[in-house]
Structure 1
Amino acid sequence: MPDEAAAPPPGLWDRMRDDPQYAPEHLALEAVRRLGPEARDWAERNRAQRPDLHPEELARLAAGRFLAHARLSGAVSGAAGLPGAILDVGVLAWTQARMVLHIAAAYGADPVHPDRATDLLVLQRVHKVAETARLALGVAAGRERAAALFQRSNTPLRQALLRLSVKLAQMAGIRAAKRVAAKIIPGAAIILGTWANSSATRDLARRAEALYRPRAIEAGRPPRQR
C-alpha cells in the first residue's frame, strides 16, 4: 500500500506555488494538521506494544525511518531534473516535518498542538525565534482563508516556482545554492542530492531531540546513558 503521507498533498502544493513567500509556513500548518495525528497514533501504538520502550529509543526509531525516506527523495530528484528538484525539496521538507512530529510524540509533546508548527519553523531555521514564527504562521493562516474568497497571486509561474524552490530549499536545510543547482546536472546530481538530504535531515533530528528531550526528563523519564 502506498504511503499517502509521504508527499505534500496537491492542495498544499497549490498554496505554496501561489504564495511562495510563505511556503514554509503553509507547509508547517498543513503538516501539523495532516501528520500530527499519524505521529500521535504511532507513538501510542509503539508504547502499547512495548511498555518498556524509552523515549530516546522511540525517537531514534523515528529519526532512522525518516532519514531513509530523505535519502530516497534525494535520489529521485537527481534523476528528474529541475522540476524534480523543486519536487524533491518540497518532499524533503515534508519528510523532515513528519520526522520532527514523530520525535516530538516520542518525547511526549503533543504533535497535533499548534505550537508544533512554530517548533518546525524554528527547528528548520526558517525563523530564529518562536515569536516571529508565530507571527508568520498567523499571516499564512490568514492568507489561506483569503484564498477561498479572492484570486491568488498574479506572479508569473516561472518566477513563482523559482521563489518556491528557494524557500523550500532553505526550509529543508539545503542552503548552498550549488547543491540545488547540482540536482539538474546528470550523473553527479543523484549522489549530491542524496548526501545533502541525509546530512540536513540528520542535523535536524539532533536539534529536534535536543528540543524535546527535556520534556521526557520533566515527566520523570530521564534519558538513558549511552
Structure 2
Amino acid sequence: MTQHPVPVPPATDDSAVPPGTLWARMKADPQYAPEHLALDAVRRLGPEAAAWAHRMREEHPGITPDDLAARAVKHFTTLARISGAVSGVTGLPGAVLDVGVLAWTQCRMILHIAAAYGTDPAVPERATDLLVLQRVHRVAESARTALGVAAGRERASRIFTGADDAPLGGVLVKLGLKLAQMAGVRAAKRMFAKVVPGAGVILGTWVNSAATKDLAKRAREHYRT
C-alpha cells in the first residue's frame, strides 16, 4: 500500500505545528515518536521560548516569574483548545494530526514556562523534562535512555533507507496512540472519536484544554522549585 505523509494544516508561523520532517521521522519510527518530538521541540522551540522571556522582561520590568508563566499558560491553553477543532482533516489521519499538534503545543508551553522561571529552555536536558512532565516516562533516567535511542535512530535514518511494509492504517494507529499518551489523552478513544464525523470537534476541544491545564500545573510546580 502506498503511504502518504500525515497532513499538516497551514500555520501562521513556522513553530505552530510540527514540521514535515518530524512527521516523517515519527511515522517511520512510531514507537519512539514522543522522543523524536521532544528532541525536535527543544531544538526548534527552545530558542523561541528564551527570546520570548527576555523580551517580556525588557518590556515589563519587575514582572514576576509566576506572572510570566501565567501568560504562557493562558496563551498555549487557548491554542491547545483551538487545535482540537480547526484542523479540518477527518478520519484516522485527522485524529493523529490532532494529538500531534496538541503534543507539540504542550511542549512549546512547557519550554516557555521553563524560561519564565529562569531555566534555559534550549539545552538538551529539557527534552528529558518534556517526557517526564508529559508522563511518557516516569523518571528522568529512563527518559534519557529513550532519547539516546531515538537520537541514534534519527542519525541512522540518514544513512540507511528502506521500504516500510507496514500497512498505513497500522502505522497511524500506533503513532496516534503514542502521541495521545504524550499529550495526556488518557482515554485515547475520546480523541479518536474524530473518526466519527462531527464528534471530534466538541470532544477534542474539551480534552485538549483539560489535558493542557493539568500539564501546566505540573510544569509550573516543577520549574518553580
TM-score normalised to the size of structure 1? Answer: 0.91
Q: Is the 8 A contact 2:18 2:100 kept in 1?
A: yes
Tell me, yes or no, if structure 1 residue 18 matches structure 2 residue 28.
yes
Of 167, 173, 179, 1:156 maps to: 167
CA RMSD between the two structures: 1.4
Greater shift in the superposed pair: 148-157 or 114-123: 148-157
Tell me the equivalent position of 1:173.
184
Q: Partners in 1 of 2:135 and 2:24 — Cα distance?
A: 23
Gaps of 5+ in 1: 215-226
Matches within 5 A, 1:37-186: 37-77=47-87, 80-151=90-161, 153-186=164-197
**Where is the helix percentage greater, Structure 1 or Structure 2?**
1
Tell me the equivalent position of 1:223.
none
- SS of the equivalent of 2:86 reads helix
Aligned partner of 1:183: which letter? K
**Counterparts in 2 of 1:192 and 1:74: CA distance versus 1, 3 Å:** same
Instruction: Give the Å deviation of 1:134.
Output: 0.1
Deviations 1:76-111 (A, max 9, x none): 257633221110100000000000000000001000
- SS of the equivalent of 2:84 reads helix
Aligned partner of 1:4: which letter? D
Q: Is the 8 A contact 1:76 1:84 kept in 2?
A: no
Q: Is the 8 A contact 2:92 2:172 kept in 1?
A: no
Q: How many equivalent residue pairs? A: 214
Greater shift in the superposed pair: 183-192 or 121-130: 183-192
Tell me the equivalent position of 2:3.
none
Q: Is the 8 A contact 1:78 1:193 kept in 2?
A: no
% identity of equivalent residues: 65
Q: Partners in 2 of 1:11 and 1:172 — Cα distance?
A: 20
Aligned partner of 1:90: which letter? G
Q: Is the 8 A contact 2:42 2:124 kept in 1?
A: yes
Gaps of 5+ in 2: 1-10
Aligned partner of 1:193: which letter? G
